[in-house]
Amino acid sequence: MTVLEVFATVICIIAVCSYFSAGVAFIFKKQKLAYILSAVGWVANLGIFVKNWYINGYPPFASMYQVLSDISLLFVILMVVIIRFRADMKWLSPYFCFGAMLPLVGTLFMDRNMHWTLAPALRSPYFVPHVFSYVLSYALCVVAFLVLVIGYIKRREWDIYEEASCVILRIAFPFMVCGMLLGALWADQVWGNYWTWDIKEVWSLITVVAYLCYFHARRVKKMKKASGVFAVLGFFALIFTFLCVNVLPNVAGSLHTYT
């Protein structure tokens, strides 16, 4: 490993440990310590972002390693913003910290290639806003899913957890739709067509429809009990959308592979 790779690994481990410790501190009501640890984790996480941008010379949203590092950077910011406007949701802080930790843990087991050539298709003004919209919505969806799972475990408090999860998803959904619309504009610019039924496009549409079904089910009495099922289906569709082209085999023909 080069010195830079060792540095990247060290600051990643610092960020992971800090985020995890912050989550535990929040659980035990050590608010001041939790915020300090969150800040330490975020600064270390920011170091990864800056390093990726400096080395490659473009906003680091291109490779899976870069995007996973970026998505972790958003959790603490979202936590602070949501708590600022919804003080009654301060109890969600641990979920944001643990959510920030998860993507970075994933990067520790990936090829942390420092140099990643930007494909011609990615040299577009739609590149950053498209990816950022999706990354922001995905970060919120991760927290909403974690809250929903814990709410299911704590059945007596289900209503509180389910409502909190819904609030987060209401924030996430417009960004998800925005990401898809920006992607369509980008596709027209690069490929000459707004929609090609590419595997990534299809699964992004399935994800949006699943969450639409969730919101609809919550508003219909007879379907409200099934809303949680749609939320879970939406999250798993999201994971498949995010990972399928980059991880699964037999998708080499996808327009969304830039290797």
Sequential pLDDT tens for the chain (259 residues): 677 778 889 999 999 999 999 999 999 999 999 999 999 999 999 999 998 898 888 888 888 888 999 999 999 999 999 998 998 999 999 999 999 999 999 998 876 665 667 676 777 888 899 999 999 999 999 999 999 999 999 888 889 999 999 999 999 999 999 999 999 999 898 888 888 888 889 999 999 999 999 999 999 988 888 898 999 999 999 999 888 766 665 555 566 665 4
Residues 13 and 51 in one domain: yes
Say how many C-beta atoms besides its own lie within 10 A of residue 233's C-beta. 17
Q: Measured in whole angstroms, how far is the alpha carbon of residue 89 from the centre of its chain? A: 20
Residues 52 and 152 in one domain: no
Residues 79 and 151 in one domain: no
Tokens 């708590």 identify what position? 83
Residues 170 and 85 in one domain: no
Residues 55 and 80 in one domain: yes
Residues 43 and 67 in one domain: yes
Number of domains, the chain: 2
Residues 110 and 185 in one domain: no
Q: Are 207 and 234 in contact (CB under 8 A)?
A: yes
How far is the C-alpha of 249 from the C-alpha of 245, rounded, in Å?
A: 8
- Torsion 183-187-189-194 (CA) sign: negative
Residues 131 and 3 in one domain: no
* pLDDT at residue 68, rounded to an integer: 92
Residues 125 and 91 in one domain: no
Q: Choose the final residue of a domain: 69, 101, 118.
A: 118
Task: Report in angstroms the alpha-carbon separations of 117 from 52, 60, 202, 251.
Answer: 12, 11, 26, 20
Q: Measured in whole angstroms, how far is the alpha carbon of residue 74 from the centre of its chain? A: 8
Residues 258 and 242 in one domain: yes
Q: DSSP code of 118?
A: P
Q: Choose the final residue of a domain: 96, 118, 140.
A: 118
Residues 149 and 35 in one domain: no
Q: Choose the final residue of a domain: 77, 97, 118.
A: 118
Q: Is the pTM of this model over 0.85?
A: yes
Domain that holds residue 55: 1-118
Residues 254 and 173 in one domain: yes
Q: Measured in whole angstroms, how far is the alpha carbon of residue 103 from the centre of its chain? A: 8
